[in-house]
Copies of this chain bind each other. A is one copy, B any other.
Amino acid sequence: MNHDKSEKTDLSTLGEFGLIDHLTKDIKLKNKSSKKGVGDDAAVLRYKENEVIVSTDLLLEGVHFNLVYTPLKHLGYKAVVVNLSDIYAMNCFPRQITVSIGISSKFSLEDIELLYDGIKLACEKYGVDLVGGDTSTSVTGLVISITAIGETNKSNIVYRNSARINDLICVSGDLGGSYLGLQLLERESNIFEEGTGISPHLAGYEYIIGRQLKPEARKDIIEKLYEMNIKPTSMIDISDGLSSEILHITTSSKCGCHIYAERIPISEEANRMAEEFGIDPLTAALNGGEDYELLFTADLNHHDMLESMTDIHIIGHIVDENKGKKFINPDGTAIDIKAQGWAHS
């Protein structure tokens, strides 16, 4: 448990305005677009050359995270990453975040420091400045709201609605791992809570547990695509499963798609875990959420370059709308793609 209060400092000792000052006192702004950070009514940014990209996410205890098995530092890290992922999915680079948290009385100062350690670690890793936010009492659960702000030149922005017929459909990394990691954590925490004295059995599944508890945003993929001069024709990040996301792209782009089941990347651990749970690993890849990989379409001309890139997989292509939105099985049979993402989104 994250919120054992023994020998911990009650939040009230810092006084009404002390907490946010305490949490943010060591923050130094690194990006030249960050002009004024925490400490006034609002942050001040300067974006004279580029477009400004803004994305917001809300994470709620009991819906988006379970504190029984989620370390607060990981939670802070993930809360930031989830937002940055949205900015990268526009083919843009995040520069600032603001963080608002609602804290119930079960948390100590040390707990909130851990949460902020994770937030700051993600800021460090992704080169992002924490420029604003506040803390507030919550009488319900822990609430984390993050807004990410990024930039790129107008001509580089990639939307969802611009996929074209014959474009390649590509995905980074592997899929389904985060969902299967979550199933494992839920199972072990249920066993633990039943008080059987059985320790959580997580060995051999470190990768998929990491996918769930401490995902990364694919900054590296975006940087590689820039380097190779490949601008995707459309892009989205996979927060709700491949099915949902390809439907977002094809619906808004008014086109169809054929995706080949055997090309969908699934990790060895995810396959093994799916087998243990008796579920089809493909179902986890298509409908599980929170992989935070990038799904994008690209011109056929880039085929060879994309195929040579580490951690990018060409899984299908865009077709005319009247040819449908289909997964093609290895035996050639096709099934219509349906969205069955996270219920909480």
A: which residues have CB within 8 A of B?
Answer: 16-17, 35-36, 39-49, 51-58, 60-64, 86-87, 89-90, 92, 96, 98-102, 131-134, 136-141, 143, 145, 147-150, 154, 157, 159-161, 236-237, 240, 244, 248, 252, 339, 341-345
Contact = CB atoms under 8 A, between A and B. Distances in A.
A225 B59 CA distance: 39
Contact of A52 (B44, B56, B343): B44
Nearest to A56: B98
12 contacts: A17-B244, A39-B160, A41-B55, A41-B87, A42-B86, A42-B87, A42-B90, A52-B52, A58-B134, A63-B137, A136-B345, A145-B145
A12 to B, nearest CB: 9
Given A16-B341, A35-B51, A58 B101 contact: yes
A325 to B, nearest CB: 15
B137 A56 contact: no
A86 B39 CA distance: 12
Contacts of A100: 56-58, 145
Given A51-B35, A63-B102, A147-B54, A41 B236 contact: yes
B54 A96 contact: yes
B42 A46 contact: no
Contacts of A64: 136
Given A17-B339, A57-B100, A140-B140, A52 B45 contact: yes
A92 B42 contact: yes
Contact of A60 (B40, B52, B102, B343): B102
A245 to B, nearest CB: 10
Nearest to A345: B16
A121 to B, nearest CB: 21
Given A40-B160, A54-B131, A90-B44, A139 B102 contact: no
Contacts of A102: 58, 60, 63, 143
Contact of A145 (B44, B58, B132, B244): B58
Given A35-B51, A90-B44, A133 B63 contact: no
Contacts of A159: 36, 40
A29 to B, nearest CB: 13
A224 B36 CA distance: 26
Nearest to A55: B42
Nearest to A236: B41
Contacts of A36: 159
Which of A139, A248, A341: most chain B Cβ within 10 A? A139
Contacts of A63: 102, 136-139
A100 B63 CA distance: 15
A138 B248 CA distance: 24
Contact of A160 (B41, B53, B89, B345): B41
A47 B52 CA distance: 7
